[in-house]
């Protein structure tokens, strides 16, 4: 299981945040405020992308290489992430939990490279792009060099 906590701080009234609704699969979530998790085994080019909207919508994509969809992008039913959000005047927090083994058993005992990013839409409709690392002049969350966080496998015990 991976647990990621995203936080937007500032004048939250200027960020377009849809009302929470029951979790459901969505599409094209990156066109509005959206939080993204990318995960790959260290040393491999295949990876998964999870998009989560403040509304509770989510989408999962599988890739065999940089922006190349997996041959069978939905080999099975994707796991449904656990999503909870909290909003105040100064911040918006989104917690996401996902069973990585349901994406790939290869993730269970491997060192992982993780990319965390967000697309933030203002109430005026402008978009900004945030990530742990932007390795290029323009934001590209799929760039393997943007997977800036390394997560060690759980200790055997």
User: What pTM was computed for the model?
Assistant: 0.92
Residue 43: per-residue pLDDT: 94
Separation between Cα atoms, residue 118 and residue 128, nearest integer Å: 8
Three-state secondary-structure class, residue 5: strand
Residue 72: per-residue pLDDT: 67
pLDDT tens digits for 40-88? 999 999 999 999 999 999 999 999 999 999 876 555 578 889 999 999 9
* Average pLDDT of span 107-130: 95
Q: Provide φ and ψ at 100, rounded to 5°.
A: -65, -35
């Amino acid at each position: 299981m991976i647990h990621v906590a995203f936080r937007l701080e500032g004048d939250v009234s200027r960020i377009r945040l849809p009302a929470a609704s029951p979790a459901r699969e969505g599409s094209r979530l990156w066109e509005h405020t959206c939080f993204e998790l990318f995960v790959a085994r260290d040393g491999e080019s295949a990876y998964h992308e999870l998009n989560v909207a403040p509304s509770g919508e989510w989408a999962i994509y599988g890739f065999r290489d940089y922006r190349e969809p997996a041959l069978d992008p939905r080999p099975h039913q994707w796991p449904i992430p656990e999503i909870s959000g909290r909003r105040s005047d100064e911040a918006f927090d989104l917690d996401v939990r996902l069973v990585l083994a349901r994406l790939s058993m290869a993730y269970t005992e491997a060192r992982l490279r993780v990319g965390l990013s967000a697309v933030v839409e203002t109430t005026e409709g402008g978009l900004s792009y945030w990530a742990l690392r932007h390795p290029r002049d323009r934001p590209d969350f799929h760039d393997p060099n943007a997977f800036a966080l390394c997560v060690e496998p759980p200790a055997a015990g």
